[in-house]
Amino acid sequence: MTKFMRFIEALLLPTIAIVSAVISLGDVFNVFHLIPSNQVPMIILVITSMGLGTLAVIMNKCNEMQDKLENLLSKAELEQMKEMITHINPDLRKVLGNNFFSGMFHTLQTALKESKVQLSDSSTFRLNFKHMLRAYPKATLLSTSSLATSYLWNEKDMEDALARFIHEGGKIKQIFFVRSPEEAASPEMQVTLDLLKKIGITIRIVNSTRIPANLKQYFIVEARRKIGWDIPVNDQGHVGLSVITANPAVTANYCKIFETLWEIAEY
CB 53 within 8 A of CB 12: yes
Q: How far apart are CA 43 and CA 22, in angstroms?
A: 13
**Residue 52: C-alpha distances to residues 13, 15, 166, 203 (Å):** 11, 13, 54, 54
Rg, Å, the chain Cα set: 29
List of the chain residues with pLDDT < 70: 1-58, 61-63, 65-79, 81-82, 89, 91-92, 94-96, 100-101, 236-237
Model pLDDT, residue 97: 73
In this structure, the number of other CB atoms found within 10 A of the CB of residue 178 comes to 19
Q: Write down the pTM of the prediction.
A: 0.66
Q: How far apart are CA 161 and CA 167, in angstroms?
A: 10
pLDDT in tens, 138-183: 999 999 998 888 777 778 888 899 999 999 999 999 999 998 889 8
Smallest Cα–Cα separation from 231: which of 160, 151, 155, 135?
151
In this structure, the number of other CB atoms found within 10 A of the CB of residue 148 comes to 16
User: CATH assignment of 122-264?
Assistant: 3.30.870.10
Q: How far apart are CA 117 and CA 230, in angstroms?
A: 10
Dump the DSSP string for 130-184.
HHHHHHSTT-EEEEEE-TTTGGGT-SHHHHHHHHHHHHTT-EEEEEEEESSHHHH
Smallest Cα–Cα separation from 175: which of 200, 208, 152, 153?
208
Residues 6+ apart with CB under 8 A from 94: none
Percent of the chain with pLDDT over 90: 30
For 185-227, strand residue ranges (E) read: 202-207, 219-222
> Angle at CA 195, nearest 5°, toward 218 and 190?
80
Give domain limits for the chain.
1-114, 122-264
DSSP state letter for 25: H
**Residue 214: C-alpha distances to residues 61, 113, 217, 254 (Å):** 37, 25, 7, 11
